[in-house]
Amino acid sequence: MATNPPKLKTKIAANERMKNLKETFESKYGESPLFYAFAPGRVNLIGEHIDYCGYSVLPMAIEQNILAAVSVNNSGKIQLANANPKYKDFSVSCSEEIAIDRDDPQWYYYFLCGVKGIQEKFGLNHLAGMSCVVDGTIPPSSGLSSSSALVCCSGLVTMEANQKSLSKVALAEICAKSERYIGTEGGGMDQSISFLAEAGTAKLIEFQPLRATDVKLPDGAVFVISNCCVEMNKAASSHYNIRVVECRIATKMLAQARGVDSSRLLKLAHVQMELKASLEEMLALVDEVLHPEPYSREEICKVLGITSEQFSTELLSANTQDMTQFKLHQRAKHVYGEAARVLQFKSVCDSEPANATRLLGELMNQSHASCRDLYECSCPELDQLVDICLAKDLLPWCIQTCSFLL
């Protein structure tokens, strides 16, 4: 795997999309782009909603991507335009503090997340002026990581425009952190696979430290990415962060039940490490400690010995302050079960049994059932799509788009 993002020479005339983007750029700014950058979207084969709990995931990049044409200048401004006319232009002064409106997650704020991340990494008091036109082929709000790909592309663009250099791992970590400026408390899978993906292989993405391992998929296996056409913008609602918060609270509750200092534990993986327990033992602990009925704020505060104010400031996010009910048993059960399925999925790929495709399909079916029933991050349209595929015995199906909370 290359350490730094590769720089490639491409004949624009031979690439219709880049040719069109170049013409749009020239029409918009009256000059030619200096360079182009792109970041791919991704589909997660298995490991749904567990990266922010500290567990490994198993995605692969897709051909659909975010592509940007860029020029660097002394205008003192960052000018942003989108090849799609439905998205409006935006500009910001290079000398002003970059402000990102969490309550209005427009496309350009995602771009500014990447800019801000690079600016803070290098302590840049004055950014290079840039003119950019962005083109995307990833369906928006479809669960294929269009927003994270935009943040990654922006980080790459800003690094290059300001003549800095970072490894792909460092870029992934910076972009994962900086996307949180928009309000989404993600775990880093999307940015990691966007930078660390390689042709012809899926990747096992592990965290702390971040690393990516090739996972060879079975010969002849076909993964169909199907879109149920229900859109969900993670930053535009609290649905995504609600699950993050519930897992955070479950972490505290499980640690408290076993006499572990929970003040420094924020992720379910941390509890497992502290207890030196297996995933199977953690699943049993969830059944023993957490009741299936929703928890109230008052009950959680009583168990953890904290005040209502501490609960709000230490456990909730800005957009989850109104939550009153928390399904801790179901969320923790999904996370530990899904973490085990990721390891099983990789084991099947590594051992290459004759029925590998069937085994992987069964694991993916279990993953969807858990997302639907325990994590409640599916929707009726997606469930119907899954049922249609199962009725036709199409396995393995990677039905990633559009899960309700992706």
> Is 387 an annotated catalytic residue?
no
* 97 strand-pairing partners: none
Point out the catalytic residue in the list 51, 101, 103, 190: 190
Q: Is the CB of residue 144 less than 8 Å from the CB of residue 138?
A: yes
Between CA 249 and CA 150 the distance in angstroms is 31
68 Cβ neighbours under 8 A, 6+ residues apart: 36, 37, 38, 132, 133, 134, 135, 153, 154, 157
Mark 160-169 as b/e (b = at least 16 C-beta within 10 Å). Answer: bbbeeebebb
As given in the structure block, the two tokens for residue 253 are 């509750």
Q: What backbone phi and psi angles, to 5 degrees, belong to 70?
A: -140, 140
Would you call 80 helix, strand, or coil by DSSP? Answer: strand
- Which of 4, 377, 39 is CA-nearest to residue 190? 39
As given in the structure block, the two tokens for residue 386 are 């899954």
- Residues designated as active site: 190
